[in-house]
Amino acid sequence: MKLNRPMISLIAAACLLQAGIADACTRVVYLGTNDQIITARSMDWKVDVGTNLWVMPRGIQRNGEAGPNSIEWTAKYGSVIATGYDVSTTDGMNEAGLVANILWLVESEYPEYDGKTPGLAISLWAQWVLDNFATVNEAVAALEQEPFTLVTDSVPGEDRLATLHLSISDSTGDSAIVEYIDGKQVIHHSRDYQVMTNSPIFDKQLALNEYWKEIGGTVMLPGTNRAADRFARASFYVNAIPKTEDAVETLASVFGVIRNASVPFGITTPDQPNISSTRWRTVADHKRKLYFFESALTPNTFWVDLKTLDFAEGAKVMKLDLGPNQIHTFSGVANDQFKETEPFRFLGL
C-alpha cells in the first residue's frame, strides 16, 4: 500500500506518542564500497546489564532450555557474543560474518507454549541464529518454517517479561528484522532495512521514517532520545556518511552514527521514565571479522579479531570479564585477554 502525505503524517504522530514507552537501543547497518558492511548497535538499559564477552566454539551441543521438548542442535559456527547477565546472548558475530542483535520491543507478544512443540527460550534466540547460519537468507528460510515456539521469561531481577525483537545482518549487507506481534512471527527481510530501534513495531517505524525523509535530514531531524527519533536520525546519518574504501575512516563514521543515536549516561527524564542510558556499543566489521566493543564508562575502544580465534570443535569456551558496568579497560586487540571458563547456563524454564 502506498502511503500519501496525510496518512504518513497521521502515522508519524501516532508513532511519536507511542515511542516514549519503550526501553532504548539502536542498531544500524552501513553499506559501503569495496564490500565494507558494518553493523553497529547501542545497548541502553536502566541498570548494569551484566555484560561480558564470550568465545563460543563450534560443536557445542545445545537445547532450547524450554523444558522436556526443547529444540536441540549442535553449533555449526563459532561466535563471539555479548551476554546479558551472563544468562543470554544479546549481541554477537559468528565466524561466517553473520551478526545478530537483540533489542527491546514492548509490543512483543509471543505464542502461548503448551510444551507439545519444540521450544526455545528467548535467552537463546540470537545464539540459535549465530550457531546455525552463515547468511540472512539461510536464517530467514529456517525461521519461516517456525521450527520452534519462542518462550519468554522474566527479566533477571524484575517482574516483567522480556519483550524483544531480533535483527540479523550478514557480509553481503542483507538484513532481517524478526518480531512477534499478536502471538505471530513477523519477518521483515530486505537489504533496505538498515535501522532498528524499539517501539513502535517495525512497520510503523518505516512509515515514520518516510515522514522524515520528506522533510529532509539536512533541514531538520528529531533530536530526542525516543526510539522513533533515534530511528530517523540513524537512518539519515548511516546513508549520509562517506562511502570510502578506507576501513579506518569507515569505522570512524559508523561509530559516529551509533554514538549520535546513544543516550547520555545517567540522564534523567522524569516525563519519559523508560528512557535508559547507553551502557555499551558494539561495531561489527563483517569483511574483516572484527568485533569492536565500547563501554560508556571506559575511555577507549577495543576489539576482538575473529580470524585468529580458535573456534574448532573441542576448543575451550573463553570469557573476557568486563567487570561491573563494563568498567574494565582494554586496548587494541583483546584476544589474549580472554580466559578459559566454564560455559554459562542460558536462562530457561
Distance, CA of 335 to CA of 291 (rounded, Å): 11
C-alpha cell at 318: 573463553
- CB-based contact 71:118 (threshold 8 Å): yes
Look up cell 521483515; give the residue: 188
Q: Write the DSSP symbol of residue 154.
A: B
15 is catalytic: no
- Distance, C-alpha 138 to centroid of its chain: 18
Give CA–CA dist 159/232, Å, rounded.
32
**β-sheet bridge partners, residue 101:** 91, 167
The single residue of 25, 40, 206, 296 carrying the catalytic annotation is: 25
DSSP 8-state class, residue 34: T
Quick check: helix, strand or coil at residue 174?
coil
In the Cβ-directed half-sphere of 217, how many Cα atoms lie within 13 Å? 16
Determine how many CB atoms are found less than 10 A away from the CB of residue 331. 12
The neighbouring-strand residues paired with 84 are 88
Other beta carbons less than 10 A from residue 93's beta carbon: 29
Q: Are 53 and 319 in contact (CB under 8 A)?
A: yes
Report, as residue numbers or ranges, the catalytic residues: 25
